[in-house]
């Protein structure tokens, strides 16, 4: 697969994540989250709560594993023995939505999207105390999704979707920088690039990478100037790739992996030309590990841990 050595084959894997120290690897299935010891690849825990896990994050010190249900619940496990220690659910005060969330520098404090009486807003949620603080007052937002934690800048990149005055769907960047407060939130837009499937930022190159269907657009670090455009496929039937699922940049900044539902592609950053293209049915996830040693591929049927031979 992808011309790389298979290290471990998993069952259904919607998301696959290493802990920051690479000690643990976990993946989400339809009704549970499974944890492996990466030194032996032995399964060490099956976590049944929450059901329908959608998003997983390790705390920055790897002491805790956060699992968010596709909607409505977040569970926190300590990683010493993977015992459940905290649970928070939607209530009358706030409603959790189906979107990824960010781990902050403060334990049990996460940055997430809430559906409030004033629409979708970003909020700090204290899981330990069951309290939240709404940080934004966006108008007409229909969704706010986490795209990326930018480690080099200690900031978080979100996409806000809203309906503009002409009745069209529009996208804007919402960037939140630690320490998190209302004044640390920046909204960025570009009049030419007003929609995308996903967006990520490269601190190594100081550029934004935007996916628009089957095209990549590279913009400068201020999100003002288009530097390059690239068509991922010149095929007459681009739908053979499937529909877009995920994009990720290697830690080195050398490689971009793009996952479509029928195809996984790895592009070189310098020329944006495909290095590896492979048909993988029901693909939904593709990322490099923190140290770029491994490639993590998730599908609705299986998950794959591959040795990265591109280095």
pLDDT digits (tens, 9 = 90+) for 63-97: 999 999 998 899 999 999 999 999 999 888 789 99
CATH code, 194: 2.130.10.10
**What is the rounded CA–CA span in Å between residue 59 and residue 24?**
12
| Band (308; pLDDT cuts 50, 70, 90) | very high
Domain total of the chain: 1
Q: Is residue 49 part of a domain?
A: yes
Per-residue pLDDT tens digits for 109-154: 999 999 998 899 999 999 999 899 999 999 889 999 999 999 999 9
Dihedral pair phi/psi, residue 188, rounded to 5°: -125, 135
Could you tell me if residue 217 is inside a domain? yes
Is residue 119 one of the residues assigned to a domain? yes
* pLDDT one-digit tens code per residue, 48-58: 999 999 999 99
pLDDT digits (tens, 9 = 90+) for 227-258: 999 999 877 778 899 999 999 999 999 999 99
182 inside domain:
yes
Cα→Cα distances 254→14, 60, 210, 228, 266, Å: 25, 24, 16, 16, 10
Please indicate, yes or no, if residue 285 is contained in any of the structural domains.
no
Evaluate whether residue 4 is within a structural domain: no
Exposed/middle/buried for 226, CB within 10 Å: 0-12, 13-18, 19+? middle
Query: What's the domain range around 229?
Result: 13-239
């Amino acid at each position: 697969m992808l011309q790389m050595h298979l290290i471990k084959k998993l069952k259904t894997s919607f998301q696959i994540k290493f802990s920051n120290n690479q000690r643990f690897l976990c993946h989400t299935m339809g009704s549970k989250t499974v944890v492996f010891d990466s030194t032996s690849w032995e399964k060490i825990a099956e976590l049944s709560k929450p059901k329908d896990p959608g998003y997983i994050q390790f705390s920055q010190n790897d002491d805790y594993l956060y699992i968010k249900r596709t909607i409505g619940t977040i569970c926190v496990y300590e990683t010493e023995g993977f015992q459940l220690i905290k649970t928070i659910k939607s209530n009358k005060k706030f409603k959790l939505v189906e979107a990824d969330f960010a781990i902050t520098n403060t334990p049990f404090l996460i940055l997430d999207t809430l559906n409030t009486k004033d629409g979708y807003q970003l909020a700090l949620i204290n899981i330990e105390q069951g309290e939240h603080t709404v940080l934004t007052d966006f108008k007409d937002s229909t969704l706010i999704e986490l795209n990326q934690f930018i480690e080099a800048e200690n900031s978080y990149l979100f996409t806000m979707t809203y309906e503009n005055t002409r009745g069209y769907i529009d996208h804007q960047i919402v960037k939140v920088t630690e320490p998190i407060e209302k004044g640390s939130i920046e909204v960025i837009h570009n009049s030419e690039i007003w929609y995308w499937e996903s967006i990520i930022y490269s601190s190594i190159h100081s550029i934004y990478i935007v996916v628009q269907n089957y095209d990549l657009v590279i913009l400068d670090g201020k999100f003002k100037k288009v530097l390059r455009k690239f068509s991922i496929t010149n095929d007459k039937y681009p739908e053979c790739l499937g529909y877009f699922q995920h994009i990720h940049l290697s830690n080195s900044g050398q490689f971009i992996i793009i996952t479509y539902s029928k195809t996984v592609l790895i592009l070189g950053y310098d020329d944006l030309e495909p290095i590896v293209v492979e048909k993988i049915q029901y693909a939904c996830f593709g990322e490099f590990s923190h140290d770029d040693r491994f490639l993590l591929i998730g599908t609705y049927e299986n998950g794959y841990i591959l040795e990265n031979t591109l280095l």
